[in-house]
A and B are shown apart, each in its own frame.
Chain A
């Protein structure tokens, strides 16, 4: 009986087969992500129904039926309301936003002086963009220009009253100009102040520690409106007779102090996360307190809490809308004020204006949060365990 030769070895590999059709392609994706089980299928159907119900309405309202330009309310009102649109029409009134765009951006800033805030905005963008791009060199010079020179230039340009520029009252400021200048100053003041407060709270000196704790916990326990009330009603009482200062400045102080208390808690979280060995290592090198903080502790602590810091910035950016309560007109305030303009009063005005404002706020906040995610990834040195 002849035996088979069993020592056969395959010399050529079988060619790799493509993945089976059931795990690739659109069909497989749908099976996996939309109809994996009965429950999943029901959820998908409910979701599709929800989207199909809402999305066409939104698109219809915001784009297809929307009115983009027009001189006054007639373009956004139905015939029954005294306009030109057919009865039963609903659509966004972007014509309102279009007509009031200048006001929404700059408030009641005098028309012939509007080149000044626009110039400040251009300078701001020109300094901010290279600051945000990690590859652009000369960060130190850039930071000095952005945080020290620009505020002075902006102050001279916006307020005026010197170098032949006419004086513009801050009560005439409004719109995005107020929102951005409040938040810029708030950010620039609250971060250093918050760091100081956080260091004070972790200080070994009992009196300084107590003062910081009392300040932080009090401010965090009350709403911003109360702080603004405090700034607008009580600050004038605190000053001698005849001395008073600008309402804008008072709002600035209120917002900055409020944000500083929250910032202090965020920074404290970072400080607590730094291992004791880092402090001791710095001490053993003979560094003084401020050197230790500046060179060793803070760079690590701040890096850890970037998300928290940016969240506080976003929160403060949103909170600037509250200055409407002490009758200042930021972006939201000026939009709301324009609802009462008889020239534009229609059923769609409020909705359109508010959605425009929401979009602007959303752009800034979403941008900030995305940038913070990017920075976090970039600074991640892989020391996390």
Chain B
């Protein structure tokens, strides 16, 4: 110990140019000086340019009247609304398409990923072709394909394609019946919530009982009955308040019902198909990452194949799958900004329009960046929490 201390305290014998500590400080100071100089130069230029273009900096412009229309909006919006509200509408549209896309992509991805591991040769090949096709073409091309290659060449509204449940498909999008909630329909939602809460409670109790006594309880059927049955009961009791507004065919257009515009539809389908190919590969890697010994051991314990999957393979595969799955979800959210190419009013599109109208380039880009960073951070936080919950508990 003592000799080491002596060695450490002994001053460096070489020239101070070769001292890593001094070098480190020198390089860092150099970088800071260069950075400050660069930022100062850029700031100087920006201020110069802005005063020349007579653009007032600051976020006051967000209160101005927008003056442009947005084709799809989840909240009330008109051209008289403010710029701030226009950006909010864009943000909501981004969030909507991202959430719906993530759900669909996950479902398709899991199906395809498991299909690639199937013992069935044909299914395996079909899934491989799907993955290899979609992984190797740009997402923007997939969006254009759905938009101009498929949806734009659908029939005109006059000869819409009839689909089941009174829905229609034509050039202007997908129409389906809109649910109209009458008086007393709040009771149904309350019943649904109560059903979910009770199902959770039952599952907990059943688990405790199985842990204590080994007796099983048909949790799935009870929960299904609670979650579906209670709202149905409430529906009947409150006098059937739900009715549907069906889309009707008129001479030139369809009226009524709920319209999903082709912009949204193509963006949603393209993002789901594209991301699903990547999720499929992640799922495949995850399942293959669980060693065969685990499956065999579970089989030796006498578990049935369904239980082996549910209790042994999937929990371990999830640990491998979740981190890359998170980055795919983030990728999907970021790729939703491609909406601008087909005119779906997402965050980038509306912020871009605001930026062009007001000339507030710096603020516009800053708003975009901050919001996307916030979304990324939020998604990672949620997924990290989920990951920590699923992670291996060392005993």
Contacts and interface: CB of A to CB of B under 8 A. Distances in A.
B148 to A, nearest CB: 4
- Among B118, B123, B132: residue with most chain A CB under 10 A: B123
A362 B141 CA distance: 11
Contacts of B152: 350
B52 A241 contact: yes
A328 to B, nearest CB: 13
Contacts of B35: 211
Interface string A29-57: 00001101000100110011011000000
A365 B362 contact: no
A234 B377 contact: no
Contacts of A48: 122
A336 interface: yes
A51 B136 CA distance: 21
Contacts of B24: 204-205
Main secondary structure of the interface of B (DSSP, over half): helix
B141 A357 contact: yes
A365 B149 CA distance: 22
A244 to B, nearest CB: 11
A343 B4 CA distance: 84
B28 A208 contact: yes
Contact of A47 (B42, B126, B338, B348): B126
B144 A332 contact: yes
Given A33-B120, A237-B50, A351-B153, A226 B32 contact: no
B48 interface: yes
B389 interface: no
A51 B119 CA distance: 18
Given A237-B49, A362-B137, A369-B136, A218 B144 contact: no
A308 to B, nearest CB: 11
A233 B337 CA distance: 17
A319 interface: yes
Given A205-B27, A234-B361, A362 B133 contact: yes
Nearest to B28: A207
B198 to A, nearest CB: 34
A208 B368 contact: no
B275 to A, nearest CB: 13
B126 A34 contact: no
B148 A339 contact: yes
B225 interface: no
Interface string B336-371: 011011000000100010010000011011001100
Given A226-B368, A369-B136, A350 B148 contact: yes
Interface residues of B, number: 55
A160 B118 CA distance: 56
B33 to A, nearest CB: 11
B122 A47 contact: yes
B134 to A, nearest CB: 10
B145 interface: yes
B132 A354 contact: no
B14 interface: no
A32 B140 CA distance: 41
| Most A CB within 10 A of own CB, among B28, B123, B136, B364 | B136
Interface of B: 24, 27-28, 31-32, 35, 42, 45-46, 48-50, 52, 118-123, 126, 132-133, 135-141, 144-145, 148-150, 152-153, 334-335, 337-338, 340-341, 348, 352, 355, 361-362, 364-365, 368-369, 372-373, 376-377
Given A205-B24, A233-B365, 18 more contacts: A34-B122, A40-B120, A43-B118, A43-B123, A47-B120, A47-B122, A207-B31, A229-B355, A237-B46, A321-B141, A325-B341, A332-B141, A350-B144, A350-B153, A351-B145, A354-B148, A365-B135, A365-B137
Instruction: State the 8 A-B residue pairs at the shortest beta-carbon distance, nearest first.
Output: A365-B136, A33-B121, A350-B148, A318-B138, A223-B334, A223-B337, A351-B149, A47-B122
13 contacts: A33-B122, A43-B120, A47-B120, A47-B122, A208-B31, A221-B372, A230-B369, A239-B45, A325-B341, A354-B148, A354-B149, A362-B137, A365-B137
